[in-house]
Amino acid sequence: MSLGFRFSEYIPAPEENNGFESLLKLFLQLITITSGDVAEALAWLNSLDKQYQLTSDQYGMGDFIEDLKMKGYLDEDPQRQGTFKITAKSEQQIRKSALEEIFGKLKKGGKGTHATPHTGVGDEASTDQREYRFGDAVEQISMTDSLRNAQINHGLSDFMLTEQDLEVTETEHKTQASTVLMIDISHSMILYGEDRITPAKKVAMALAELVKQKYPKDTLDVIVFGNDAWQIEIKDLPYLEVGPYHTNTVAGLELAMDILRKRKTPNKQIFMITDGKPTCLKEGLRYYKNSFGLDRKVVNKTINLAAQCRKLKIPITTFMIATDPYLQQFVDEFTKVNNGQAYYSSLKGLGHLVFKDYRQNRKRTF
């Protein structure tokens, strides 16, 4: 004999390691700000704990550090007890956190290519349909719609299917894109009491994770420029620091062009995040520097490279995180010569602008 169902009061199970998850989010933010300095990040976290009681009697800071090691977020130096460094797992988690913070939670889609405005024999079905044309692939034929057309055209009593009844689903061509992201690491990125480099790093990490998850066939290269320019790995972004540098935009653009020349993708572009004008050139072994006003020697070389990029069909999108009127004059000239785009952005809106422009440029045919 069945006793049926018995109901009792529902008591939800406590969330496992809720203290760890909340502390981890804060710790990863601090790691980004401290450029990967674990000791400094933990010191700041301890200070915040004292002020805001982040831990409890059940879960303390010591428990959190042990969990970081056990879960693979930290490695301890065997030669120097108590000295830690973040792991590859932490680096990836920092990029994921940046992606969620800046771009919102995005669903991974397909194989990650981007639509162009062209239709035809492509890679992905669209919502548009048309009559059958010679050369259309069999798999493009919409059987349901074609059978309906046959019934309408010929009736049910003497069923027949002709070429005129066939209807096909349009497909959209897909394209790949290669992007070089240039990040200014000149001294002005931390001047005047404003940390501009941390938001720039977060945008770079978020964009890198976006490309990896949603557009894995695309390429993203990151370069930094100060007195010189050099390429960095995506995994090195959390450790990026500003130096006592001027702004050699020319070196950055030259390196970006060299990288993109080697890419075989049809769409290429440069994103440049900066807060100032170009102030430096390298001439042989010496540096030509001038931080006063707009030096035409430096500016003209920069403008010439913008024109070269236009000839190579490489648009440059400039994200200027400063609003000085004389800087706007330079950026306007630079953008006009390249036929690119420019944004004068606050740090708060930087990530959304980068994401918007990245998606828009993926749909263009340059």
CA distance 236 to 351: 19
Note whether 240 and 355 are same-domain residues: yes
**Residue 138 vs residues 127, 133, 337: alpha-carbon distances, Å:** 17, 11, 47
First to last CA, the chain: 75
Residue 215 lies in a domain: yes
Question: Which residue among 109, 140, 174 closes a domain?
Answer: 174
Note whether 186 and 274 are same-domain residues: yes
The pTM of this model reads 0.74
pLDDT value at position 276?
85
Residue 47 lies in a domain: yes
Note whether 214 and 293 are same-domain residues: yes
**Residue 142 vs residues 115, 124, 149, 151, 169: alpha-carbon distances, Å:** 22, 14, 11, 15, 6
Question: What is the Cα gyration radius of the chain?
Answer: 27
Domain of residue 235 covers 176-362
Placement of tokens 């981890």 in the chain: 24
Note whether 236 and 336 are same-domain residues: yes
Note whether 209 and 268 are same-domain residues: yes
Residues ≥6 apart with Cβ < 8 Å to 158: none
Note whether 168 and 185 are same-domain residues: no
Note whether 162 and 251 are same-domain residues: no
| Structural domain total, the chain | 3
Helix (H) or strand (E) holding 320: strand 316-320
Write out residues in the chain with pLDDT < 50, as ranges.
15-16, 105-123, 365-366
pLDDT value at position 357?
78
Q: Which CATH number belongs to the domain containing residue 247 in this structure?
A: 3.40.50.410
Summary mean pLDDT of the chain: 84
Amino acid letter for position 316: I
Note whether 253 and 147 are same-domain residues: no
